[in-house]
Amino acid sequence: MFNEKKFDKLFELMKEKKLDAVMIAPSSDMEFLVDYHAHADERLNCLVVLSDKRYFQISPLLNYEEAKVKYPEDAVFYKWADGEGFLDTVKKSFEDFGLIGGRIGVNETIRGIDVLDFQELLEATFVNAHPMMEAFRIVKSNEEIQNMKKAGQIADEVMRDIKNFIKPGLYEYEVIEEIKRLYKEKGADDISFSPIVATGKNSSMPHYNAGTSKIQVGDNVVVDCGCRFNNMCSDTSRTFFVGEPSEEQRRVYEICKRSTFTAQDAALSGVTAGSIDKVARDIIDGEGYRDCFLNRTGHGIGFSVHEAPYIKPNNELVLEEGMAFSIEPGIYIAGKFGMRVENIVVIENGKGVSMNHSPVDIEDVIIKL
């Protein structure tokens, strides 16, 4: 439900950024602020928060009933009907609230085509407010961290169980279905993203999601999944081997694992996000796989599954107590295979503490045939 205290830090940040208002479309931003999980479509459905602590909601008529219960009774709503479109309604609301001539932030989910229409229609300056919205949630409260740990514990249990389920002849999508079933069974509120199961050559694509291949003896299978518990997310990856791994598979796995755990140990309050990436990347580079580490080392996580801080090269953001993020360096060899070991780490008492504990020793991730 609506909780005005959540807005306090946002007002501070808006003052700092000299914003008169911020427009927030359906997103984790909206869900976090008003617990309104709106279906995003082409209709503008948007919370506008002003720096003077007023706010209003621009609502498609057909979402009004579901939206109004998320707000106090006296909240101001600007409803618009399909026949009229929303541009005149936005204009009216800006006039009523004195936003003409103002500096207006937009969150990540306001569409580009809408920003272009607003610029044409309204005398106001529109600004990318995404960095501000990221700063808003980057430090987690104790309660949030406890919920993330519980979500991580469920993910670990799923990872243990799914190892026993994987066998040659299964399609990837069958493993995905079982993962979803397990999360439900174990009391997760929901999955936090569509599980990734990538076998054999498919595993060289970090975000592979087709699900259509059959698991074969000799494959390695990357499983990447997570859930929500009391609104907070988990996310973990393990690489399993279907039968005895080859020498090359073993070697690459050990490099990936070492990269993850060394970076985890380097995650301390006061160091930069970029320096953690460098620790992970140097290990992989040093073993000759520089061009096979395609992505960043990790991403922040919390109320949403991808958020700040991003653990990537050159990111000068300094880690602080209460920040949480994934460590998931990987080696992806096109046409052959890919691997990663992913844990979520939170900075507690100055040190990076892993929220994931499912086994990573190579003997523990080999599926015996």
By CB under 8 A, name the binding residues for its own copies: 39, 41-42, 60-66, 81-84, 106-117, 126-130, 204-209, 274, 277, 294-296, 306, 310, 312-315, 332, 334
Strands 232-233 and 227-229: antiparallel
Please give the structure tokens belonging to residue 138.
């980057």
First to last CA, the chain: 51
CB-side neighbour CA atoms (13 Å) of 302: 27
Nearer Cβ to its own copies, position 132 or 366? 132
Minimal distance, residue 129 CB to its own copies, in Å: 8
CA-angle at 268, arms to 267 and 274, nearest 5°: 55
Nearer Cβ to its own copies, position 238 or 281? 281
Nearer Cβ to its own copies, position 70 or 163? 70
Nearer Cβ to its own copies, position 94 or 367? 94
Minimal distance, residue 254 CB to its own copies, in Å: 22
Minimal distance, residue 328 CB to its own copies, in Å: 12
Q: Which residues contact 143 (CB under 8 A, 6 or more apart)?
A: none
Nearer Cβ to its own copies, position 250 or 306? 306
Reported in sequence order, the residue ranges of 118-195 that DSSP labels E, i.e. its strands, are: 125-128, 190-191
Residue owning tokens 């801080």: 309
Instruction: Compute the distance between CA of residue 80 and CA of residue 87 in angstroms, rounded to an integer.
Output: 9
Minimal distance, residue 243 CB to its own copies, in Å: 25
Minimal distance, residue 256 CB to its own copies, in Å: 15
What is the amino acid identity at position 28?
A: S
Q: Which residues contact 147 (CB under 8 A, 6 or more apart)?
A: 229, 230, 231, 232
Which residues are 367's β-sheet partners? 242
Nearer Cβ to its own copies, position 330 or 358? 330
SS (H, E, C) 128-169: ECHHHHHHHHCCCCHHHHHHHHHHHHHHHHHHHHHHHHCCCC
Instruction: Compute the distance between CA of residue 275 and CA of residue 316 in angstroms, rounded to an integer.
Output: 8
Minimal distance, residue 180 CB to its own copies, in Å: 11
Nearer Cβ to its own copies, position 183 or 366? 183
Minimal distance, residue 40 CB to its own copies, in Å: 11
Residue owning tokens 């609301």: 93
Nearer Cβ to its own copies, position 113 or 369? 113
For residue 328, give the nearest of 195, 224, 196, 245 by alpha carbon. 224
Minimal distance, residue 29 CB to its own copies, in Å: 12
